[in-house]
Chain A
């Protein structure tokens, strides 16, 4: 792989969804990588996934040298993630060597070295032609021997040896108090260091990782949330690294002719993100549904995230104004995902979305309302997530409708969701209810629409049994 400055720098896939993007191509081939973090944050998982995916996707055999868990324990632990270690061992693709050191049965006298470990590792590597190695957690050795000075120099020698051997090695290390690892392994591994972290914020647990160091390569520097679920680990890049998505010249209809006519191009660009903001009861969902149905009519796939209404309720309510969603739900072109936003952490939401995008390949995504995600995390997290979300949608050229509930009587520009989304959205439609002469008036105002002219005054409309009806100007 070529890096940006044109240097040849071979990298190999990490096997972890999303991590290759952050590292611009993967781990440095043939070098040691340190993954450190406190207990239970998924270090071992990283290692195992690196090996298993290496075997399955790249046909690169791997060796796992475990200093803590036995082979059967490891196999059991990752079975729930769909990794069958025993089978891979049978196929001679994987070697698991459990190094068990019983301090109580060992006495030390005189000089020694760790050649035994080297020989075991060498034997395991050579016997299956391994390209990937995981040492989990080598720091356990520090509890096993007395001569720490020697151990340090031997570990240094081991890392050098692994480098000479040309295998890409993940070394896991326990997080220390003031250091990345308890035993300062980061001093010996300078090529690539990744810090993983497990935090509980507002009762929602989030796992994060950060690339502390990646010598000779550019890398994403943010903290990236990651998930461990039934498919293993996936990392979500916070922001796409470049703004290089394509923009379409195609125009799509919003589903209401009168509304389309307010735009100089008679609709919005395909793949654009549309923000619909407004206080409660300003018909945001209705507008979004129009767009969804219109998309379905174009024989496109629509993914509708409903964070406030259940599917039944949404369908029923839309029916009262003449929007029939049922046929589209039945033929599979309209897929509604209804869930409470607080059910999952933000990352989980994003991941669910990612997965559904991959599985269903929708042409249109509706998130109704995006503002309810605010209650899940703090502002900066939500902001990061929304940016990620919109980036993903744009990269895939998906039409997106994001509705946002603004606070009653509030100045909508001060609203936090609006603040974040409005700059990312290509088109922004604000809906308002106002009282005039004892009558409530609904109005729609296009605040912006990138790349085209639009009507600048508020448009009044009514909701009737036949749907939205715009007032003649």
Chain B
């Protein structure tokens, strides 16, 4: 991964449920911390556009999809376990000693 590349993340939610809100704030926090300035999060509300669920094979809500970099990764749940999210997304913790 080079510094220029932008991470493309997609968060699938279904309305503003506590789980979805929590998931969004969690991932935003992690990204700000580790991918500052080189990420984009697209939030897709399936209640508004249900037809999008099939494309990414969404069955659980919330689901975070890493579209880029490849390969595709998915994390389901409210993303409350930071460690797991970072491992799942394969984000290398560059700022050592922070945690």
Query: A-side interface residues toward B, CB under 8 Å?
Result: 97, 99-102, 105-117, 119-120, 122-123, 141, 144-145
Contacts and interface: CB of A to CB of B under 8 A. Distances in A.
B46 interface: yes
Contacts of B26: 110
Contacts of A141: 59
14 contacts: A101-B57, A102-B57, A107-B84, A108-B84, A109-B76, A110-B19, A110-B26, A110-B81, A112-B61, A113-B19, A113-B61, A115-B14, A122-B50, A144-B59
A105 B19 CA distance: 21
Contacts of A105: 71-74
B81 A115 contact: no
Nearest to B56: A116
A156 to B, nearest CB: 16
B77 A112 contact: yes
Given A107-B73, A111-B78, A117 B50 contact: no
Contacts of A122: 50
A110 B54 contact: no
A120 B60 contact: no
Contact of B87 (A99, A107, A115): A107
Given A100-B57, A145-B60, A112 B78 contact: yes
A114 B59 contact: yes
Contacts of A123: 50-51, 53
Contacts of A116: 12, 14, 46, 53, 58-61, 63
Nearest to A123: B50
Contacts of A99: 57, 59
Contacts of B63: 112, 116
B80 interface: yes
Contacts of A111: 19, 77-78, 80
A120 B61 contact: no
B31 interface: no
Nearest to A107: B88
Contact of B59 (A107, A109, A110, A120): A120
A229 B46 CA distance: 41
Given A112-B19, A112-B78, A120-B53, 20 more contacts: A99-B59, A101-B57, A106-B74, A107-B74, A107-B76, A107-B85, A108-B75, A108-B76, A108-B77, A108-B84, A109-B79, A110-B79, A111-B78, A112-B76, A116-B60, A119-B14, A119-B46, A119-B50, A123-B53, A145-B76
A109 B61 CA distance: 12
Contacts of B47: 119
Contacts of A119: 14, 46-47, 50, 53, 61
Contacts of B14: 115-116, 119
A105 B60 CA distance: 14
Interface class of chain A by DSSP = mixed
B24 interface: no
A463 to B, nearest CB: 74
Given A120-B50, A120-B54, A112 B73 contact: no
A68 to B, nearest CB: 14
A111 B22 CA distance: 10
Nearest to B63: A116
A120 B63 CA distance: 14
A105 B59 CA distance: 13
B23 interface: yes
A116 B45 CA distance: 10
Interface in B25-70: 26, 46-47, 50-51, 53-54, 57-63
B34 to A, nearest CB: 16
A393 to B, nearest CB: 51
Contacts of B80: 109-111
Contacts of B19: 110-113
B60 A110 contact: no
A115 B61 contact: yes
A102 B46 CA distance: 21
Contacts of A109: 75-81, 84-85, 88
Nearest to B74: A106
Given A101-B59, A115-B14, A116-B53, A110 B77 contact: yes
Contacts of A107: 73-76, 84-85, 87-88
A161 to B, nearest CB: 13
A106 B62 CA distance: 12
A141 B59 CA distance: 10
Given A119-B47, A123-B50, A123-B51, A112 B62 contact: yes
A99 B77 CA distance: 18
A110 B71 contact: no
Nearest to B47: A119
Contacts of A113: 19, 60-61
